[in-house]
Amino acid sequence: MLSFWEKNSFLNYDVIIIGSGILGLSVASELSEKFPEKNILILEKGILPTGASTKNAGFACFGSLTEILADFKNKGEDETLKLVYDRLAGIEILRKRLTDEKTGYENNGGYELITEKDLSKLEEINEVNDKLKSLIGNNVFEISNEKIPEFGFDAGKVKALVYSKYESQVDTGELMKNYIKYVNERGVTILTGCEVKEVQIKNSKPEVVVSHNVFHEEIKFSCEKVLVCANAYTTKIFPEIKVNPGRGQVLVTKPIDGLRLKGVFHYDEGFYYFRNYKDRIIFGGGRNLDFENEESFQFRYNFKIIDDLENKLVNMILPAEEFEVDMIWTGIMGFTENKLPLIKDIDSKIISAISCNGMGVALSGYLAKKVIKKYF
């Protein structure tokens, strides 16, 4: 049971944010920067953030050529260009807020590997560049086939390479550690091991219910506004919010002597992605091999996908190098039906902001800005 002191000092806030992923931390930062007097609490169910933000591959990217072309078809050109704009703006917010040193931000460029089936898409490169020019001012994508032998890819499989100098990489671990530190320094309280079970409105104020992991009794936190940043898990608290989990499998190699790859690399509309981390390769993706099983909240390995990633490393990406896989892990993303981020009032005092999809490193900063501008 709680003491008088705990009830007096720990349970009342101006704003409670559910989830300490990159979006929850961005929302807390934006709010505390604009309203330093506000008393803000983040409730996190894991000991560490436990969704996508500490599990991702650390691409600071806004969409590869084939991904943007696919988005033009599925989301329409206007929505796609808006998203690209928001991602670019988000990266700049993150860099300014945390500094490149604290995020491990490095601009080594990005490359898309084009295999036989996507070769015809290269015909659209000029058109895409023209459309992106209004946002970036220069050509974004250029063909860079001379790099295929330089990086050591199997030229029988990688038919072309599309380069973008605007893509960068971060150190996901350092970024998240320093983001937590940043919000702490701004006076935001983070309580971990606090899984929110429900949010009720009591006497016209939101009451956020958490089960105490020692006393096994309900703790009720009270506030003026709740911001729900629980991504895929939002649907477990608010079933009316339709968001599907999408698991991602990732592997990292042991250090590779003389590794030639540097930068971020994608192929197949962004479904596969790899990068160097110092002299290792981090490689993830392949959800499209098994969408059904990867629509899951369970942090489980899918060896159909992991085997495919390893095969692609051996046969296409590092055909001439000896390497060993050091470890594998999984993370859970959240996807809305239309694959767009969703900001929605569940109640006038409960707002959800979710679904950065596969690009939350870039998108979260600007999405958070929009949320705070609209509701505060």
Residues that bind ligand FAD (CB under 6 A): 18-24, 43-46, 49-53, 55-59, 194-196, 229-231, 233, 237, 248, 250, 284, 331, 333, 356-362, 364
* Helices 77-98 & 22-34 angle (0-180, nearest 10): 70
Coil, strand or helix at 37: coil
Token look-up 């790859």 returns: 261
**Measured between alpha carbons, how far is 226 from 354 in angstroms, rounded to an integer?**
14
Output the smallest distance, CB 309 to ligand FAD, in A.
Answer: 11
Spatial contact of 230 and 19, defined as CB atoms under 8 Å apart = yes
**Residue 25 Cβ, how far from ligand FAD at the closest point, in Å?**
7
Q: Which is nearer to ligand FAD, 161 or 363 (CB)?
A: 363
Shorter beta-carbon distance to ligand FAD: residue 227 or 316: 227
CB of 375 to ligand FAD, least distance (A): 17
State the minimum distance, in angstroms, from the CB of residue 360 to ligand FAD.
2
Give SS3 for 200. Answer: strand
CB nearer to ligand FAD: pick between 130 and 215 = 215
For ligand FAD, which residue has the nearest CB? 51
Please identify, using beta-carbon distances, which residue of 123 and 136 lies nearer to ligand FAD: 136
Do the Cβ atoms of 272 and 339 come closer than 8 Å?
no
- Is 358 within 8 Å of 288 (Cβ atoms)? no
In the complex, minimum distance from the CB of residue 44 to ligand FAD, in angstroms, rounded to a whole number = 5
The C-alpha atoms of residue 139 and residue 145 are separated, in whole angstroms, by 17
C-alpha–C-alpha distance, residues 237 and 249, integer Å: 25
* CB atoms inside a 10 Å sphere around CB 188: 24
CB nearer ligand FAD, residue 256 or residue 302: 302
State which residue, 81 or 356, has the beta carbon closest to ligand FAD. 356
Cβ 119 to ligand FAD shortest distance, Å: 25
CA distance 271 to 71: 13
